[in-house]
Structure 1
Amino acid sequence: MIRMLLRVLGHQYARPVRRTVALMTTTAVVEGLSYALLVPVLRALLGGTPADAWPWLIAFGGAVALYAVLRYVSDLSGFRVGTTLLRGMYHRLGDHLGRLPIGWYSAGRVGEVSVLASRGVLQAMSVIAHLLAPLVSASVTPLTIVVVMLAFNWQMGLAALVAVPVVAVVQIRAGRSMAAADAERAERDHEATGRVIEYLQAQPVLRAGGRTGERFRLLDDSLRELQRASRRTVLSALPGALGLTLTVQAMFTVLLVLGSYLALGGNIGAAEILAILVLAARCADPLLSLSEIGGRLRGARSELVRLDTVLRTEPLPEPLEPIQPERHDLEFDSVTFRRDDHTVIDGLSLSVPQGQRLAVVGPSGAGKSTLLQLLARFHDVDAGAVRVGGADVRAIDTEVLMARIAIVFQDVYLFDGTIEENVRLGRPGAGEAELRAAATAARLDEVIERLPGGWAANVGEGGALLSGGERQRVSIARALLKDAPIVLLDEVTSALDPLNEAAVHEGIERLMAGRTVVMVAHRLRTVQRADRIVFLDGGRVVEEGGHDELLRRGGRYADFWNVSLTTARPAR
């Protein structure tokens, strides 16, 4: 557990963790040794001269005071180290997530990482602050007491020592049996959470279709499965808890019987027997707490495993001697890219001269958006090369590459802040005049004028307080402010109303002016104005050429164009 914790945290935190563990271990040993003083105390009190107990009582009081000081210092150290580790873990996780390729962030993985970065990190880091001291105390203090018992009476000590491997075996077996139940419960919990979110988000569709009853049954079934899994988790914990309790009680009973036998035989005094039984009883409490501590440690360990999995994910390699591209032309050279054993791009070759516009069209799943992602190095290709300015993107420093590319997606994400803060993400150091000019070019100024607060208007989480067209205008203004020589557009007007589409299209035209552009588009006028068009299907270029040329051929692009005309023509 400690080794995994140190691996997740990094070697720079090894020393404070080891120091804290050593301090907690010393505290547990002192606690156990302090109980050894009960033997001479009870021997004097039950003997002929009770006053002889005073020196031992003073020593016992001093030992307890020393234990109290050590316990305070060790607990304080645990909290401080835990706080430091929590902060360090957030920094390490954040830095690592910032280096992972953007293509790694699938929809499901984003939810998983968000839970891991909140509840998961807190639970994992609670080991040092809240679980380590009880675990060390429950393990080391009873062992110290057993050693003390061996020193006073080897028969009683040996009998107590026999219980150590039995307790260990019970704990190991209980942990193994509960691990599977814990994993199943976590899976059912995740599934039930997804069903709850799905049920809430789908309310408009479900009510319009009159299918709330059916969908509620799906949610109810999921919650019922979670209830069953929780019941199995509780039942799987019972054998371990009962086994541990029975083992501890049996150990105490054996010691009581053995002590009585030795006392009746005159081999040991009544005071020593009473003191050793007090020591044995003191062993029981920490041993019985092992069951609860074990359950909490398993939960923390599962989060550590998830953290370890994320932190062991390799980021895309950075070049040792990065190249600075001088041009802004683009090239795909025999590119093959696979995702989950499925070939998305298959031996594709095409080029975009500097300052020209390439439109990529084709059916859904043809690999159009993947082309843009490969240009921005969201992923690395499996074969071939993607080049910017003649340089392989793998040989260009990531920050240099991203500084040359402006990307406008169909689904725009805005941070929970003001409009100005979201636009300035394109170039934080831009002047006021440049900011206003970008907003005007994107026709964002129309939105700013009608919103309360203007530039200081809050957009909400994800831009929820703005419409889709308004979010898109913010995104275009951000790209204009960045002023990158390469622009990637991914169906930016496919889900907008005519008014917003016209405004966004005007902003796009200004954004594309004089730049190298690759656009994934369905809108007719956007495609028509491209210098070259490629029709993609199955990750391959099926047709390539100018708009008029492809129409004359009467191939796949002509069919696509005719269908687009039909769907765009208003009904009579």
Structure 2
Amino acid sequence: MIRTLLRVLGQQYAGPMRRTIALMTATAVVEGLLYALLVPVLRALFGGSPADARPWLVAFGAGVAAYAVLRYFSDLSGMRVGTTMLRGMYHRLGDHLARLPIGWYDAARVGEVSVMAGRGLLQAMGVAAHLLAPFIAALITPLTIVAVMLAFDLRMGLAALAAAPVVALTGVWTARAMAATDAERHERDHQAGARVIEYLQAQPILRAGGRTAERFGLLDDALRQVQRASRRTTLAALPGAIGLTLTVQAMFTALLVLGTHLALGGGIGAAEVLTILVLAARCADPLLSLADIGGRLRGARAEIDRLDAVLRTEPLPQPAEPREPRGHGLEFDAVTFRHGDRTVLSGLSLSVPEGRRVAIVGPSGAGKSTLLQLVARFYDVDEGAVRVGGADVRAIGTETLMSRIAVVFQDVYLFAGTIEENIRLGRPDATDAEVRAAATAARLDEVVERLPGGRHADVGEGGALLSGGERQRVSIARALLKDAPIVLLDEVTSALDPINEAAVHQGIERLMAGRTVVMVAHRLRTVQRADHIAFLEGGHIVEQGSHDTLLHQGGRYTDFWTASARE
């Protein structure tokens, strides 16, 4: 687990973590060596001259002081590494997630990453801050005490050492027995959490249909599965915990019997037997704590392994020698793109000259939105190439590519914060005057005027405090402020009422002016104003040309236009 943790931390935090582990190990060794001083102390106290114990007691006190200092700094180092690691891991995970292909984010992954970013990272930090020190002490301190016992009396030391492989085998056996139940418990917890979220999100539909009792049944089933998995986890852990306790107690009993036998035979004195038993008792305490610490470490290790799996997922490759686009024209050259087992686009070619507007129309599932995502390099093509300014998007640095592209999606997500903060995402260094100008151009000023707080009004998580049309206007203002030469529009007015649609269209017209535009649309007003129209069906462009040319052909576009005119 330590190796996995160090790999997850990366080079920046691996060094401090190694130093912390070394300091914790030294602390555990010093704690074990302290008990070696009990041997001369007890010999003097039970011997003929108790006063001889005084210098050893002084030495013991000095050792305790040294141990206290080491313990303080090792615990402090663990806390510092843990908190610094948590902050750094949030940044590292966020940076890595931002470079993964969009296709990686299915519904299950989003929920898993949400849990990982919360509980997972906190457990990883807890290993450094709270679990490493007692775990290392539970292993190193008993081994140090056994070494002291070996130096003091070989027979008693060997008897104590014989228990080490039994304790190790018990721990390994318990971990293996727990592995399957831990995985099941995690899966059941995930399913129950999904059911709770589903139940909450579906309240309007369930109440309208009068089916809340049925949904309660599904949720209860998931919770019963969690209860059964928890019971199996407990039962799987019980033999290991009992086995470890019995092993430690048997070791202590064996040492007691051996010590009594040696004392009665004259091979060792009573003071020495008492010393051995004290040392054995000090071995037993940390060993007995291994069961509890091991369970907590297994839970942390599962989260660290999942975090490691995400961080080892290959991101979209970055070019070794990035190219600079020459101009702002777009080209799809024999593009084939597959999503899983499905071929979304097959051998598609399309050219979008600089400063021109191209509309992509067609039935649902034809691959229209995928074209926009390939331009923004949310995915990489399987065959062919997508070029911006004559350069393959795979050969352009991510920051350079995204600086040239503004995207307005159909479903707008706004971050919790103010309207102005969300607009400034387009260009954080923009002046107040530029932000106001973008808001006015997007027809957002009339929304701002009626909201308490104006531009500083809170939009809520995901923009929940604004309507769909208002969120679209914020998105357009953001794109206007960015002032990118290439604009990608994805069905931005498909779900708006007529008033909001008219306002959003005015903002879109300002946004498209003088720019290279690719728009996915089916509204007549948007499509008719395009310079070129491509009808996409089954991953192929089946028709393309101007609006009038396609209407005269009487093909698939004509059917689309006729159907749209009836809406």
Normalised by the length of structure 1, the TM-score is: 0.96
Q: How far apart are the structure 2 equivalents of 1:83 and 1:452?
A: 39
Mapped partners of 1:521, 1:155: distance in 2: 86
- Matches of 2:422 and 2:228, distance apart in 1: 46
Tell me the distance in 2 between the aligned counterparts of 1:16 and 1:327: 48
Give the equivalent residue in structure 2 for 1:239. Answer: 239
Q: Distance in 2 between matches of 1:433 and 1:150?
A: 80
**Matched AA of 1:243:** G
Deviation at 1:124, TM superposition (A): 0.5
The equivalent residue for 1:84 is 84
Q: Which stretch shifts more, 489-498 or 102-111?
A: 102-111
User: Which residue number corresponds to residue 60 of structure 1?
Assistant: 60
Task: Say which is worse superposed, 376-385 or 18-27, in terms of deviation.
Answer: 18-27
Query: Which residue pairs with 2:450 in the alignment?
Result: 450
Deviations 1:372-419 (A, max 9, x none): 000111111111000112211112222121111111001111121221
SS at match of 2:430: coil
Letter in 1 for 2:256: L
Residue of structure 2 equivalent to 1:491: 491
Alignment of 1:52-131 (within 5 A): 52-131=52-131
- Residue pairs, 1:369-388, within 5 angstroms: 369-388=369-388
What residue identity is the alignment partner of 2:406?
A
SS class of match (2:110) = helix
- SS in structure 1 of the partner of residue 484 of structure 2: coil
Hey, what does 1:465 align to over in structure 2?
465
Q: Which amino acid aligns with 1:548?
A: D
- Partners of 1:307 and 1:388 in 2: CA distance: 35
Q: Shift of residue 102 of structure 1?
A: 4.3
The residue that corresponds to 1:278 in the other structure is 278
1:482 match: 482
Instruction: Name the CA distance, whole Å, in 2 between partners of 1:191 and 1:180.
Output: 17
Distance 1:201 1:369 in 2: 26
Question: Which residue of 1 is the match for residue 263 of structure 2?
Answer: 263
**Stretch moving more, 56-65 or 18-27:** 56-65
CA distance in 2 between partners of 1:158 and 1:320 (Å): 60
**Percent identical:** 78
Alpha-carbon shift at residue 70 of structure 1 (Å) = 1.7
SS at match of 2:289: helix
Q: Which moved more, 1:410-419 or 1:235-244?
A: 410-419
Distance in 1, Cα, partners of 2:43 & 2:226: 57
Aligned position for 1:389: 389
Q: Give me the whole-angstrom Cα distance separating, in 2, the residues matched to 1:331 and 1:435.
A: 32
Partner SS for 1:543: strand
Deviation at 1:119, TM superposition (A): 2.1
The 2-side partners of 1:432 and 1:135 are apart by 55
CA distance in 2, matches of 1:272, 1:495: 86
371-380 or 311-320, larger mean C-alpha shift? 311-320
Q: Distance in 1 between matches of 2:449 and 2:11?
A: 54
Structure 2 unaligned spans of 5+: none
| 1:221 alignment partner AA | D
CA displacement, residues 450-483 of structure 1 (integer Å, 9 cap, x when unaligned): 1111111111111111100000011111112222
Map 1:127-166; keep pairs closer than 5 Å.
Answer: 127-166=127-166
Shift of the alpha carbon at 1:101? Answer: 4.0
Aligned length: 567
1:531-550 pair list within 5 angstroms: 531-550=531-550
Q: Is the 8 A contact 1:103 1:373 kept in 2?
A: no
- Indicate the larger mover: 238-247 or 307-316: 307-316
Letter of the aligned partner of 2:414 in structure 1? L
Q: Which amino acid aligns with 1:64?
A: V
- SS of the counterpart of 2:284? helix
Contact 1:486 1:516 in 2 (8 A): yes
Any idea what SS the aligned residue of 1:267 has?
coil
- Residue 103 of structure 1 and its aligned partner are, at CA, apart by 4.5
Q: Deviation at 1:332? A: 0.5
**Which AA in structure 1 matches 2:309?**
T
Spell out the pairing of 1:383-422 with structure 2 (5 A cutoff).
383-422=383-422
* Structure 1 gap ranges (5+): none
User: Which amino acid in structure 2 is aligned with residue 244 of structure 1?
Assistant: L
> Quick one: structure 1 residues 347 and 172, their matched pair in 2 at CA, closer, same or farther if it must change by over 3 Å?
same
Structure 2 letter corresponding to 1:190: H
Root mean square deviation, CA, Å: 1.7
Q: 2-side partners of 1:62 and 1:326: how far apart?
A: 74
